[in-house]
Structure 1
Amino acid sequence: MNLQIIDFENLMDGAVRAGATDVHITVGKVPRLRVDRKLVMGACHNIMERDTVLGVIEYVLSQLKGEEAAKRRAAWDSKKDVDCAFTYKSMVRVRVNIFRTEKGESIAFRIMQPRRFSVTEIGIPFPAVEFCNAKGGFFLVSGAAGSGKTTTLAALIDVINKTRTAHILTVEDPVEYIFEDNLSIISQREVGVHVDSFYSALRSSLRENPDVVVVGELRDLETTRIAIEMAETGHLVFATLHSRGAVSSIDRLVGQFPAGEQNQIRQMISESLLGILSQRLFAKKGGGLVAAFELLCATPAVRNLIREQKYGQICSTIQTGADYGMVTMESSIARLIQLGKISADSMNKDW
């Protein structure tokens, strides 16, 4: 093993021990870690020479196998960005984006900590967990980039896997957490490796007899359309969306479609939606991060407000909907402060 890779492994080992979520490597810069949402120096304080960064890129590509390795290498050689994931030292899943900048080649690593958190450890509201028992419908996990949506989705998949005999089909870009079959069987498909796109994966999934479909991200109109249609036809669909709240998530879903289709889409969402879980991360006292949640449950009143495009009134419904299991972001944050998990100062900075 050459010195470049030894330095890289020391950096990654230190990042895992520190509980870092991200590692950033760029030509001409000292590597940085993101710990508790702050960028800090890692174990390696050396400026990264171009040969070193290229060596790390080669190391990452060498961890891929078969057709995936060939596709990712061809993409990089043709000057395209590369998204991939691999298992580091047989213990940690790492999502990687390799890209070029004015300064030179760069790599962003997202570290999935070795042990997945349970729904209890994450603090997911119990009514949201109950949706794992639904036979069909559409459940959305929303939040800003880096807010822990993938971790929450993985915890919900674990619940289904441990409690139901179901076929769970996931479509991801890339595959992040690896699941082992328990009561359920789980088929994980990676965009760009096993299938060309989210849309084509969902279209073909209709012939693959899934009970539960997990969409890593609703990126475009056609993916969103077929995900909603699958929920309407009796599948339980989980998906994530980059959005900062339950109401804005509905607006964003509908807004993907041309004006002439929006009434129909609102009708479809109102009939198939189970709920929307929106989350934000806050710095935890003593180190680490903790999530606060907003939960919208699709009651008859909420469905009617969606159909009539009265999104503003949905906020009031969440505030008065505790009896239906709904949770406001404000009440979730207040509870974290009351439990001593976060400080009011931390809340003000992260809010």
Structure 2
Amino acid sequence: MDAKTLNQILEIAFQKKVSDVHFEVDNPPFFRGKGQIIRSRLPLLTGKDTEFIVNTILEFNGKTLDKNLHEIDTSYSLPNGGRFRVSIFRQRGHFGMVMRVIPPYISTFEELNLPDVLAEIVKSPTGLILVTGPTGNGKSTTLAAMMRYLTETFTYNIITIEDPIEFLFTSNKSCIIQREIGIDTESYDKALKSALRMDPDVIMVGELRDKETIDSCMKASETGHLVLSTLHTQGAVSTIHRIIGNFPPESQEIVRQRLADVLVATISLRLVKDKTGDNILP
């Protein structure tokens, strides 16, 4: 394995329009396309191959490989601009990774076959908007489309806090600041507290992972900002239960009232195959 071979494999992902690339020892690279895992005909990967890939990705991000590394989320870009969200992990003593393809183009609601009501939802000047659904069902892509609409429609100061940064946004009518956990800031909680001092109109948080992040997002919503984020849940009702369940029992009633005051919408996504079976639509 060398850098040229790695980039050629990743370029195949863009050419074939797959969503993920899997690298694991004693297997060839796997691709996920149209919701299905596809085993490639490439050579089997060795421990040295996957360690080389990890080193390449970490060096791209200005980091070195720590022997105590067990898992990390980061990103990687091809020379031609193609981007990936990367999840690195250890399994059976070797490194493995899953690389999520990030489309180079941020699509509109219409291009993604998303309902027009999303444009009405993001017009809310304050509050909390959540995009939810299982992994791989288009939460990040939908959130990116919403961000595009905001930048093209309003004159806002928008701050994104992500782990890692996925879509790269360009300031249009709005000014956009993108911060990455581990590179630009230490944690979601600290970044959110800092964001409130950066004259924000809109704050986009990549994911609500813990109680501290949820609480900080609600506080930002309560202080007159529009906050957008994602959550891994199965539906609108389970989203409410998941948020409240992060807090101790004695705090849950207050949290329920706070959430009722700030929640603008919960957008629950599922991808399904069309009648031909060749395409996946929300």
Same fold (TM over 0.5): yes
Map of 2:42 onto structure 1: 45
How does 1:190-269 map onto structure 2 within 5 Å? 190-269=180-259
SS at match of 2:122: helix
SS at match of 1:106: strand
8 Å CA contact 1:172–1:191 kept in 2: the answer is yes
- With the length of structure 2 as denominator, give the TM-score of the two structures: 0.95
2-structure distance, mates of 1:290, 1:181: 29
SS at match of 1:182: coil
Map of 2:58 onto structure 1: 61
SS at match of 2:28: coil
AA at the equivalent of 2:231? L
Do structure 1's residue 155 and structure 2's residue 145 form an aligned pair?
Answer: yes
8 Å CA contact 2:21–2:100 kept in 1: the answer is yes
Do structure 1's residue 5 and structure 2's residue 3 form an aligned pair?
Answer: yes
Q: Which has the higher contact order (CA 8 A, sep 6+)?
A: 2
Deviation digits for residues 231-288 of structure 1 (CA, Å, limit 9, x no counterpart): 1111001111110101110111111111111111111111111111000111343523
Residue segments in structure 1 that go unaligned for 5+ positions in a row: 292-351
Map of 1:98 onto structure 2: 88
Aligned residues: 281
Q: CA RMSD in A?
A: 1.5
Instruction: Name whichever structure is richer in helix by fraction.
Output: 1
2-structure distance, mates of 1:118, 1:87: 23
Q: Percent identity?
A: 32
8 Å CA contact 1:27–1:103 kept in 2: the answer is no
Deviation digits for residues 157-205 of structure 1 (CA, Å, limit 9, x no counterpart): 0000001000111110000001110000111111111111111111111
Do structure 1's residue 111 and structure 2's residue 108 form an aligned pair?
Answer: no
AA at the equivalent of 1:51? K
8 Å CA contact 1:128–1:275 kept in 2: the answer is no
Residue segments in structure 2 that go unaligned for 5+ positions in a row: none
Shift of 1:131: 2.0
AA at the equivalent of 1:195? T
8 Å CA contact 1:28–1:103 kept in 2: the answer is no
Structure of greater Rg? 1
2-structure distance, mates of 1:61, 1:29: 22
1-structure distance, mates of 2:77, 2:53: 15
1-structure distance, mates of 2:38, 2:43: 14
8 Å CA contact 2:106–2:148 kept in 1: the answer is no
AA at the equivalent of 1:288? N
1-structure distance, mates of 2:160, 2:255: 24
1-structure distance, mates of 2:7, 2:216: 42
